[in-house]
């Protein structure tokens, strides 16, 4: 069974008296251990799909199973539990709390998961070590470079030991060298068995993935396996 299995996903928005078809019957399967880049112009449907895969939104129609669980009809609290247990998120703007240390930022998902304080600290340090930032654990975001902040965000995404990492333009706020460092880190995590789905506008970033899916007008127009960087 695929880790991600979506069939006939449709998403319709009503805005300003108009009906917008963000997704038009999208079906997709992603196996555990894949590294997938999702591309497409603004308004193509890729962000809508990402929100559904991340249990942040529900489809208007269609079915979605994550690790065998049908999630499209779950209540909000059930979706929150699935997100916390199964998914790690990485965003373009890092979304770190500015007045807390790197360690405390990484601990945050475990607070919601009810992990004991001593265990939180140990697991957060382990996650920071995994992304090469253990020595910066006591620093606040303002004391870190953009690349280091994104590494903290990746550590935070990993700390609850999810099955899936969803990365939305993770290099969009970074220079080219730092972007390459972050993509090398994501590639290493994928080689260790982590499933990664990446949204990007940039072809050079998509080249790091092992599979590329291109959206246009709410539909998949290309789904190809590539040669990773």
pLDDT one digit per residue (tens) for the chain, 229 residues = 799 999 999 999 988 888 999 999 999 999 999 999 999 998 899 999 999 999 999 999 999 999 999 998 888 899 998 998 899 999 999 999 999 999 999 999 998 888 999 999 999 999 999 999 999 999 999 999 999 999 999 999 999 999 999 999 999 989 999 999 999 999 999 999 999 999 998 999 999 999 999 999 999 999 997 555 5
189: number of Cβ within 10 Å: 20
Which residues have a Cβ under 8 Å from the Cβ of 68 and sit 6 or more positions away? 1
Answer whether 0.75 is exceeded by the pTM: yes
Tell me what pLDDT residue 227 has: 53
Q: DSSP 3-state assignment of 19?
A: strand
Enumerate the domain spans of the chain.
32-60+74-225
Return the pLDDT at 226: 58
Residue 190: per-residue pLDDT: 96
Q: CA neighbours within 13 Å on the CB side: how many for 120?
A: 17
What lies within 8 Å, CB to CB, of 213 at 6+ separation is 28, 36, 37, 38, 39, 220, 222, 223
Contact present, 196 and 190 (Cβ < 8 Å): yes
Backbone angles phi, psi at 27, to 5 degrees: -120, 135
Contacts of 31 (CB under 8 A, 6+ apart): 2, 3, 195
C-beta atoms surrounding 75 within 10 Å: 8
pLDDT of residue 33: 96
How many Cβ atoms from other residues are within 10 Å of residue 179's Cβ?
Answer: 22
Predicted local distance difference test score (pLDDT) of residue 105? 96
Distance, in Å, from the CA atom of 125 to the CA atom of 137, rounded to the nearest integer, reads: 7
Query: Could you tell me which of 209, 149, 138, 211 has the C-alpha nearest to residue 178?
Result: 149
pLDDT at position 11, please?
A: 96
CB pairs under 8 A, 24+ apart, for 25-28?
25/62, 25/219, 26/62, 26/218, 26/219, 26/220, 28/4, 28/213, 28/220, 28/223
How many angstroms separate the CA atoms of 201 and 80, rounded? Answer: 28
Query: Is domain 32-60+74-225 classified as CATH 3.40.50.720?
Result: no
Residue 153: per-residue pLDDT: 96
């Amino acid at each position: 069974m695929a880790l991600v299995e979506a069939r006939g996903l449709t998403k319709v928005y009503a805005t300003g008296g108009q009906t917008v078809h963000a997704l038009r019957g999208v079906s997709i399967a992603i196996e555990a251990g894949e590294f997938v880049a999702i591309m497409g112009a603004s308004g193509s449907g890729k962000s809508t799909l990402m929100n559904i895969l991340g249990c942040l939104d529900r489809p208007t129609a269609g079915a979605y199973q994550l690790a065998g669980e049908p999630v499209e009809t779950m209540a909000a609290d059930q979706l929150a539990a699935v997100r916390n247990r199964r998914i790690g998120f990485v965003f373009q703007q890092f979304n770190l709390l500015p007045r807390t240390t790197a360690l405390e930022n990484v601990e945050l998902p475990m607070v919601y998961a009810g992990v004991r304080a001593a265990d939180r600290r140990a697991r957060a340090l382990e996650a920071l070590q995994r992304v090469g930032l253990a020595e910066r654990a006591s620093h606040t975001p303002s004391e870190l470079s953009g690349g280091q902040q994104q590494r903290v965000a990746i550590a935070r995404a990993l700390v609850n030991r999810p099955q899936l990492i969803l990365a939305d333009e993770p290099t969009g706020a970074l220079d080219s060298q730092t972007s390459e460092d972050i993509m090398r880190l994501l590639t290493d995590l994928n080689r260790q068995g982590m499933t990664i789905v990446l949204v990007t506008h940039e072809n050079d970033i998509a080249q790091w993935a092992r599979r590329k899916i291109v959206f246009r007008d709410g539909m998949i127009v290309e789904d190809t396996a590539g040669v990773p960087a």
